[in-house]
Amino acid sequence: MPGRREFLNTLMRGGILAALGLLSGAVIFRSRDGKSCSYGFDCSGCSRSKSCMLPAALEARQTVWQLDMTKCIQCGRCATNCVMSPSAVKCTHAFAMCGYCDLCGGYFKPGTKILTTAAENQLCPTNALKRKFIEDPFFEYTIDEELCIGCGKCVKGCGAFGNGSLQLQVRHDRCKNCNECSIARNCPSQAFTRVPANKPSLMRGLGKERPGTAAKKGGVDA
């Protein structure tokens, strides 16, 4: 009897040890999966690549987070994943690129027939995009940052139907500049990147580009 009990005990201990060994192996295997980290380092040989905070910690004082609009797909995670509430990511406007359109793809819901500022016509879920008549047929669009949640709906509409002058950007007066940015961690297109703190914007069209030049440079100028 004692022999059988001892055998079962040994079997149980062995089982637990094997399971633990397998688990540890799996964790190490998973963390080696990443080939390069989001900070631009080559991590193919590093076992801690996914959890490594070193580059961010080193850079934190010299760099800030920014959203690369050439990669952004307007997935909505800037609105839902930021530690700030509302998000530190806001819609910004490159006025030099704007067509000042009456039928603005970033402002109006699809199918809007009468182009008025009525709430039911507006694409923005928080009424943060403001429309102001300038002269026939031009309208100016501005963003109320207090209301903007950084969802990117207007950015998607503007990019699809207009010149792409509405763009999401991290507002550094609101951003906590976390070492491991919660949005960057969840960004499906790796659009979040660190930029030098003295050049914190990645907006396109800030120069007074002529119509068409953005398209020639591979931009979205429609």
Per CB under 8 A, residues contacting other proteins are 5, 8, 12, 15-16, 19, 22-23, 26-27, 30, 74-77, 79-80, 98-105, 110-113, 115, 123, 125, 136-138, 149, 151-153, 156-157, 160-163, 186, 210-212, 215, 221-222
Name the minimum Å distance from CB 178 to other proteins.
19
- Taking the least distance from each CB to other proteins, the nearer of 64 and 166 is 166
The H-or-E segment that residue 42 falls in is none
CA 29 vs CA 19, 39, 46, 47, 60: distances in Å: 15, 21, 11, 8, 29
Question: Which of 18/54 has CB closer to other proteins?
Answer: 18
Please identify, using beta-carbon distances, which residue of 63 and 164 lies nearer to other proteins.
164
Shortest distance, CB of residue 208 to other proteins, whole angstroms? 11
The CA distance from 160 to 88, in Å, is 24
State how far the Cα of 206 lies from the Cα of 201, in Å rounded to an integer: 10
Query: From the CB of 91, what's the least distance to other proteins, in Å?
Result: 12
Which neighbouring-strand residues pair with 193?
Answer: 66
Residues 6+ away with beta carbon under 8 Å from 173: none
Nearer to other proteins, 40 or 212 (CB): 212
